[in-house]
Amino acid sequence: MSWTRHHVLSLADFSTAEYDIVLQTASSFQEVLSRRTKKVPTLQGQVVANLFFESSTRTRSSFELAAKRLSADTLNFAPGTSSLTKGETILDTAKTYLAMGTDMMVIRHKEAGVPQAIAAEMDRLGVKVGVLNAGDGQHEHPSQALLDLFTICSLLDSENPRLSLLEGKKIAIVGDILHSRVARSNIWSLTASGAEVHLAAPPTLLPKWFADYVKEPNDSSNVDRKLFIHWTLDPALQNADFVMTLRLQRERMTNHLLPSLREYHQQFGVTRDRLQQCRANVKVLHPGPVNRGVEISSDLMDDPQFSLISQQVTSGVAVRMALLYLMGGGKEVGGK
Amino acid sequence: MSWTRHHVLSLADFSTAEYDIVLQTASSFQEVLSRRTKKVPTLQGQVVANLFFESSTRTRSSFELAAKRLSADTLNFAPGTSSLTKGETILDTAKTYLAMGTDMMVIRHKEAGVPQAIAAEMDRLGVKVGVLNAGDGQHEHPSQALLDLFTICSLLDSENPRLSLLEGKKIAIVGDILHSRVARSNIWSLTASGAEVHLAAPPTLLPKWFADYVKEPNDSSNVDRKLFIHWTLDPALQNADFVMTLRLQRERMTNHLLPSLREYHQQFGVTRDRLQQCRANVKVLHPGPVNRGVEISSDLMDDPQFSLISQQVTSGVAVRMALLYLMGGGKEVGGK
Amino acid sequence: MSWTRHHVLSLADFSTAEYDIVLQTASSFQEVLSRRTKKVPTLQGQVVANLFFESSTRTRSSFELAAKRLSADTLNFAPGTSSLTKGETILDTAKTYLAMGTDMMVIRHKEAGVPQAIAAEMDRLGVKVGVLNAGDGQHEHPSQALLDLFTICSLLDSENPRLSLLEGKKIAIVGDILHSRVARSNIWSLTASGAEVHLAAPPTLLPKWFADYVKEPNDSSNVDRKLFIHWTLDPALQNADFVMTLRLQRERMTNHLLPSLREYHQQFGVTRDRLQQCRANVKVLHPGPVNRGVEISSDLMDDPQFSLISQQVTSGVAVRMALLYLMGGGKEVGGK
């Protein structure tokens, strides 16, 4: 099977084969990144535009570096100084970058659906420009979920990372599920893998429609289910293989969704002590940036025995190289 | 005849031969841009500094891409964080970039005359640094007018775009002539071509000294004239071959120069209906960003039968490559 | 002797041999910069991250250009839009860039000690990432002092610039010593060279602990001393070979450290007249950006007979290339 997807907008309809192609391609690029010259000529002469309507340093740098290591030229869009403040529509901005000769667009926007709308417009125009969703509102952030997946699968089998490695694993996702595009994308990929996914969050930080799911895992009606929701942390952690913590936006406090950061940490903060109830080799992930001592205790974050946070960042470049490469229709990886 | 100009500051003194060299060089680069690898090594190892004292995403991206496709290194100047806020003069800033090793400077400033002053200083210092005016106040924006010209001439003869193709054509320029550096540069190039140029604008958006010109085209005193001014739209549109619309800055409203956007659109907005009175193949241009439904109706903007807006953006990269190439003293185009 | 330093954080412990290696390497790169293609493939495939937590256009552009001319890829960190505003610690930001695959970090921060803390963390992690201090608070700015040194030594012997050329020279440093990281770094390099260093500043702009030093140079207790402090300008200028002026931050006025800019210029402003008392070939330096007519008279700044300001900027790129090259463990310079 080969890759046919022009855009990467959501993981909702990703097939197992597609996950595996991304994982294997990222694995090849990970190898390229271990060389002294961490660059391949794959996308030479092509242009990747980073249209970050919502500003970001971390994710934009990761995409920029991925593009440069594929030898693409990059254009960075700075929302503060842009035509948007001059009354131009978002679709017109995207079409301007298209007309300049952009080959791929990496798009982040604070409203859900913007990358999808731009991708639909590109298809309507019949142009071969790939659109990658780098985070749309509270909807999805597929490259983050794919790098999480690659981090975990590479740990389980560095030679041959693949989705099926997660079958039967227990994975906890802890924190602000309601507002997290990272959680939404992760739920798609992890449930697709055959893992048991356990969400743990205070009720105010869970989508309303999740209420139906709030049953204990040992509830007999759950036999075929792979997704479980908990209002406390411990049931999610018990025997977990991986614990994914989510960033807590500080502005949630002012919205009265949480009493205080300290109380949140007491109830949902992941610490070495609480990890005792997980499997012996449990690993902890976080998409960053971390509020130390809130989502995760500071000492745990720095402990290489448990923390995969820095591997996630490294995987990010390899996975984004893989996505740009596949969307660009590349044939060979690496040097090559 | 060959190119001898170090700086491109204004079109006021451009010769027919110079227009034709730009058009032909841009045409060669347009061909390069249709290849899969849209890059030539022409300016490798040279540095193009984009000194945008007035911020801009669209034009800066276009110049940045043009420079990268010629394999130049680019430096972007960010006015917000610069030494200007520390009391340095503009000439000192330019001399700092010169001393760093900049080969060409692309300059935008909200005051008319700044690129000219910097070019004069470079000449006084006896250095071979080319200065390109990327928009100075309400004065000129030569690369925009040249890309408009290239867009039109390429449409008329894609193999051999040249200034003389416009002889006898009727071209309407509609909108805020008073504040538009784009209009000023366009008037130079279009009148040089032998086209009939018809300006249409409310009196409050026309320079005071244009009052002398306000006569109808069929006025017998106009026999030798190529530039006509109208206070209403229709006489400018009648039998026009091309209609150039100008961006309306929203802040003109607060200055009491216009009653309302709706009223402006009723009187000067270009629509499909009003295009009926033009020639059958009439085309519409706009320098962007567009206020949809103000300068131009939204459906017309998206209609490829009439709109050249996206071609203008594409032409922009080719024309800016041509200008940087010619200013850099390049001999061969394309690969090459 | 060969280069062994991974980080360049301070000049306090630089050896004569290290100064000479930097000067000679910069000299090789200066030669590269005089070619038409001012680029070498030395750092191809490596990543230099410019982490300017305190914003700067001039120094960042200089480092960016140095990195690009060594064919490195560059990442620019924009503090305004970064994770810092999201509560991430500085060390975590640096570790994120490390995990992305950064090979060298160029760091500026408004607090003294930040580059040192990041370098210590990199060492603790056992990674081979070089950290370069591009200005930390009021502490040090080693690359600026090294480019000043290179500018002076190249003038004295362009073929073979070396520290010992300064032995016995008299060098005046004039201005806001108290707040100047440039002065601090310069004092280390210049006293190491065997030059006589004379500081001239109003008492409010001198560190308190310098009070011990305030003696006239002809004081017999000064026989072995190389550093002299003056509360007036003239004794520092008498027979000086070089005069280094420092930038006066305008906010010092509001802090009541100075009565007015005009009065400062009258007492400490360097002018052609006052240079009469220096050696015949005296040269004037300034790290920029200059407040014309404050630290230095406007005509003097533009006079190539006296001013080395533009040479300093040019030297900056060569010296920063040398530092990145040496920190990167490079073996050969130039093309090469």
Least confident range from A230-239, B179-188, B326-335, C224-233: namely B326-335
Closest CA to C103 of C143, C134, C78, C75: C75
Nearest CA among B335, B289, B281 for reference residue B310: B289
Any alpha helices (H) in C196-297, and if so which ranges? 234-237, 251-254, 261-268, 272-275
Reference C28, options C332, C277, C287; nearest CA is: C332
Element (H or E) spanning A291, and its range?
Answer: none
| Mean pLDDT value across residues C312-336 | 83
- What pLDDT digit, counting tens, does each position of C129-144 carry? 999 999 999 999 999 9
The half-sphere exposure of C137 on its side-chain side, counting CA atoms within 13 A, is 7
Give the residue from C39, C44, C61 with the most B CB atoms within 10 Å of its CB, the best one to mutate: C61
Quickly state the pLDDT bin for C76 (edges 50, 70, 90).
confident
What chain B holds in terms of domains, given with CATH numbers, is 16-141+316-327 (3.40.50.1370), 142-313 (3.40.50.1370)
CB C62 within 8 A of CB B47: no
Contact call for A289 and C97, based on CB within 8 A:
no
Cβ-nearest to A57 among C46, C78, C101: C78
Which chain B residue is nearest to residue A90, measuring alpha carbons? Answer: B289
What percent of chain B clears pLDDT 90, i.e. is strictly above it? 76
SS (H, E, C) C3-54: CCCCCECCCCCCCHHHHHHHHHHHHHHHHHHCCCCCCCCCCCCCEEEEEECC
Query: What does the pLDDT read at residue A331?
Result: 56
Residue C294, exposed/middle/buried by CB under 10 A (0-12, 13-18, 19+)? buried
| Cβ-based contacts under 8 A for chains A and C | 72
Is residue C203's pLDDT more than 70? yes
Q: Is B156 left (phi over 0), alpha (psi -120 to 50) or beta?
A: alpha
Spatial strand order in the sheet of A227-230: A227-230, A196-200, A170-174, A242-245, A283-285
Mean pLDDT comparison of B41-45, B74-78, C269-273, highest-scoring range: C269-273
Whether A96 sits inside 8 A of B35 (CB atoms) is no
**A297 and A245 Cβ atoms separated by less than 8 Å:** no
**DSSP one-letter code for A245:** E
Q: Count helices and strands (H / E) in chain C.
A: 12, 9
Distance CA B194, CA B163 (A): 8
Q: How many CB atoms lie within 10 A of CB A216?
A: 10
Q: Are A48 and A77 in contact (CB under 8 A)?
A: no
Give pLDDT, residue B211: 58
Whether residue C78 and residue A62 make contact (CB cut-off 8 A), yes or no, is no
Is pLDDT above 80 for B123?
yes
The 3-state secondary structure of chain B, one letter per residue: CCCCCCCECCCCCCCHHHHHHHHHHHHHHHHHHCCCCCCCCCCCCCEEEEEECCCCCHHHHHHHHHHHHCCCEEEEECHHHCHHHHCCCHHHHHHHHHHHCCCEEEEEECCCCHHHHHHHHHHHCCCCCEEEEEEECCCECHHHHHHHHHHHHHHHCCCCCCHHHHCCCEEEEECCCCCCHHHHHHHHHHHHHCCEEEEECCHHHCCHHHHHHCCCCCCHHHCCCCEEEECCCHHHHCCCCEEEECCCCCHHHHCCCCCCHHHHHHHHCECHHHHCCCCCCCEEECCCCCCECCCECHHHHCCCCCECHHHHHHHHHHHHHHHHHHHCCCCCCCCC
Q: Decide if pLDDT at A253 tops 70.
A: no
Q: Which chains touch A (3 or more CB pairs under 8 A)?
A: B, C
pLDDT in tens, A273-324: 999 999 999 999 999 999 999 999 999 999 999 999 999 999 999 999 999 9
The residues in A 188-227 lying below 8 A from C, measured between CB atoms, are none
Q: How far is CA C195 from the centre of its chain?
A: 17
pLDDT of residue C336 exceeding 50, the answer is no
Weakest-pLDDT range from A247-256, B261-270, C111-120:
A247-256
> Are the Cβ atoms of B65 and A47 closer than 8 angstroms?
yes
Interface confidence, given as ipTM, is 0.91
B166 vs B212, which has greater pLDDT? B166
State whether residue A78 sits within 8 Å of chain B by CB: yes
* pLDDT for B98 beyond 60: yes
Stretch C7-12: mean pLDDT: 97
Chain C: give the shortest CA distance to residue A52, in Å. Answer: 11
Kindly state the tokens that stand for C209.
């602990």
The amino acid at residue A164 is S
Q: Is the pLDDT at A95 greater than 90, yes or no?
A: yes
C106 vs C115: CA distance, rounded Å? 8
Looking at residue A249, its pLDDT comes to: 80
Total Cβ atoms within 10 A of residue B137: 16
Minimum mean pLDDT range among A218-222, A330-334, B154-158: A218-222
Average pLDDT, chain B: 90
C81 vs chain B: nearest CA distance in angstroms? 13
Rounded-to-integer distance, Cα A83 and Cα A322, Å: 31
| H or E segment and range at residue C229 | strand C227-230
The alpha carbons of chain C give a radius of gyration, in whole angstroms, of: 20
Q: Is the minimum CB–CB distance between B78 and chain C shorter than 8 Å? A: yes
A71 to chain B: nearest residue by CA?
B37
Give A72→chain B minimum CA distance, Å: 10
Which two structure tokens, joined as six digits, stand for B281?
Answer: 């193949």
Q: What is the pLDDT of residue A207?
A: 84
Which range among B110-124, B151-165, C19-33, C245-259 shows the weakest confidence by mean pLDDT?
Answer: C245-259
Query: In this complex, do C313 and B96 lie within 8 Å of one another by their Cβ atoms?
Result: yes
pLDDT digits (tens, 9 = 90+) for B225-284: 788 889 999 999 999 999 999 999 877 666 778 888 899 999 999 999 999 999 999 999
Q: Residue C91 and residue C77: Cα distance in Å, rounded?
A: 14
Q: Which residues of A fall within a CB distance of 8 Å from C96?
A: 58, 288-289, 313
**CA of residue B215 relative to chain centroid, distance:** 27
pLDDT over threshold 60, residue C223 = no
Residue B219 has pLDDT above 60, yes or no: no
Cross-chain Cβ contact A77/B61 below 8 Å: yes
Phi-psi region of B334 (alpha: psi -120 to 50; beta: other; left: phi over 0): left
Given a contact cutoff of 8 angstroms between Cβ atoms, the answer to whether C189 and C15 are in contact is no
Question: Residue C327 corresponds to which tokens in the numbers above?
Answer: 């920190």
Task: Decide if B233 contacts B174 (C-beta within 8 A).
Answer: yes
Per residue in C242-266, pLDDT (tens digit) is: 999 999 987 776 677 888 889 999 9
Q: Which residues of C touch B87 (CB under 8 A)?
A: 250, 289, 291
> Choosing among C70, C71, C81, C129, which should be mutated to test the A contact, i.e. which has the most A CBs within 10 A?
C81
CA proximity to C75, closest of A36, A334, A38:
A38
Encode pLDDT of B133-172 as tens digits. 999 999 999 999 999 999 999 999 999 999 999 999 999 9
Q: Touching check for B316 and chain A: CB below 8 Å?
A: yes
Structure tokens at C121: 């963390």
Out of C38, C64, C314, name the one closest to residue B99 (CB): C314
Q: Which of C58, C65, C290 sits opposite B101 (nearest CB)?
A: C65
Q: How far apart are CA B233 and CA B173, in angstroms?
A: 10
- As a whole number of angstroms, the distance between CA B195 and CA B165 comes to 9
When CB atoms are compared, the residue of A46, A75, A92 closest to B289 is A92
CA A323/CA A143 separation, integer angstroms = 8
* Percentage of residues of chain B with pLDDT beyond 70: 89
Judged against a pLDDT cut of 60, whether residue B331 lies above it is answered with no
Least reliable range by pLDDT among A85-89, B49-53, B225-229: A85-89
Looking at residue B218, its pLDDT comes to 47
DSSP assignment of C118-141:
HHHHHHHHT---EEEEEEETTTB-
C83 in contact with A, Cβ within 8 Å: yes
Question: What mean pLDDT value characterizes chain C?
Answer: 90
pLDDT at B222 over 50: no
Lowest-confidence region among B127-136, B310-319, C30-39: C30-39
* C159 Cβ neighbours under 8 A, 6+ residues apart: none
A–B CB contacts, 8 A cutoff, strictly below: 72
Asked whether residue B60 carries a pLDDT value surpassing 60, the answer given is yes
The pLDDT confidence band at residue B188, using thresholds 50, 70 and 90, is: very high
The tally of CA atoms less than 13 A away on the side-chain side of residue C222 is 15
- Per-residue pLDDT, B23: 98
Asked if A95 has any chain B CB less than 8 Å from its own CB, the reply is: yes
pLDDT at B197 over 70: yes
Element (H, E) at A297: none
Q: Which amino acid is at B154?
A: S
Which tokens in the block code for residue C22?
């930097």
Looking at residue A72, its pLDDT comes to 95
pLDDT at B334 over 50: no
Report pLDDT for A329: 81
Other C-beta atoms lying within 10 Å of the C-beta of residue A281? 10
Cα dist from B79 to A86, B69, B98, C36, whole Å:
18, 25, 17, 29
Range with the poorest average pLDDT among A282-291, B215-224, C88-97, C147-156: B215-224
Which of A46, A95, A100 lies at the smallest CB-CB distance from B317? A100
Sheet holding A47-52, edge to edge: A73-77, A47-52, A104-109, A130-136
pLDDT of residue C331: 56
Task: Give burial (CB, 10 Å; 0-12/13-18/19+) of C4.
Answer: exposed
CB < 8 Å to B314, chain A:
99-101
- Asked if pLDDT for residue A235 goes beyond 80, the answer is yes
Does residue B106 contact residue B132 with C-beta atoms inside 8 Å? yes
pLDDT of A334 reads 44
The model's confidence at residue A223, banded by pLDDT at 50, 70 and 90, is very low
Asked if A2 reaches chain C (Cβ–Cβ under 8 Å), the answer is no
**Crossing angle of helices A114-124/A90-100, nearest 10°?**
50
| pLDDT for residue B297 | 97
**Mean pLDDT confidence for A176-204:** 94
Sheet holding C242-245, edge to edge: C227-230, C196-200, C170-174, C242-245, C283-285
How does DSSP classify residue A183? H
Q: For Cα atoms C183, C144, C311, give the angle at the middle one, nearest 5 degrees.
A: 115
Q: Is the pLDDT of residue B317 over 90?
A: yes
What are φ and ψ of residue A85, in 5° steps?
-70, -10
Instruction: Quote the tokens at residue A309.
Output: 């946070």
Report yes or no: B163 and B193 within 8 Å, Cβ to Cβ: yes
